[in-house]
Amino acid sequence: MGRFKALLSHQIQLMFIAPSTYVAAFLFLSFMALMYLLCVEEISSSTTAISPMETFLSTFWVPVLFMVPLLTMRSLAEERRMGTLGALMSTPVSAWQIVLSKYLACYIFYILLWSLTLAYPLILFFSLPQAASDERIFSWPQMFTGYSFIFASGAMYVAIGIFSSSLTRSTLVAGMLSFCILFLAIVGVGMMMKLAPETESAWGTYMAGAADYLQPFRQLEDFSASIFDTRPFFLYFSATVLLFAITSLITEAKS
């Protein structure tokens, strides 16, 4: 346990000194600040019951596509390129401990960045006190369920990034591979449903239901409506564990 804590502490330190981390943080916070401002302006000029937080969280997939690759692309690919992964494996630590420490470091930073966006409603509150009277601005149940989805889905997305980094020595290739897999996982299911021919067969109905269940946007609609569904948590946890196990096996085989 002591060795794992040392590994995790070292990986977190590496995250805070890596240039790609700060590039990801700057792009993410700048983009989300702009999105929140646009959402507030749109809601303030309309009488719709949709809250700015609901619209704001619906754009989660855009920053995820570039933030996760930037955070994870160096994790294992850089170790293999520099030849330090073999030396690390020769120490009394296992492959799963190495992978888990890198995964947790990236996931902690992922949660940290998203948590910082909670400051946007607070900034709005102090800069425009009259906004506090609008229930759409501060819907705490909606914020809780919405961010629960962001954190749960992020566990799988970060696992995808770590998995992609284990497949190559090139950080650039790892980043591009992570981007492609994330795009397929987030947007691909919805695109496949739109392109698939409609059918009334039992198998077709079952596949359509399964595809609808796997859609992140469909899940986010429920969470944004303050509906706390545990099924997506099971889905993302299972996928994270599976990706973690595969990445550990690949790391051990290639070290």
What are 131-166's pLDDT values in tens digits?
A: 656 666 667 777 888 888 899 999 999 999 999 999
Query: pLDDT tens for residues 24-54?
Result: 888 888 888 888 888 777 776 666 667 777 7
Distance CA 32, CA 156 (A): 21
> 83 — alpha (psi -120 to 50), left (phi > 0) or beta?
left
Q: Which helix (H) or strand (E) holds 184?
A: none
Instruction: With beta carbons less than 8 A apart as the criterion, state whether 116 and 209 touch.
Output: no
The confidence score (pLDDT) of residue 68 equals: 92
> How much is the pTM?
0.86
More confident residue, 217 or 249: 249
What is the model's pLDDT at position 212? Answer: 65
Over the stretch 157-206, which tens digit does the pLDDT of each residue have? 999 999 999 998 888 999 999 999 999 888 876 666 555 556 565 655 55
Structure tokens that stand for 212 in this block: 């609808």
- Helical axes 140-165 vs 61-72, angle rounded to 10°: 40
Specify the amino acid at residue 88. L
Mean pLDDT of 231-253: 90
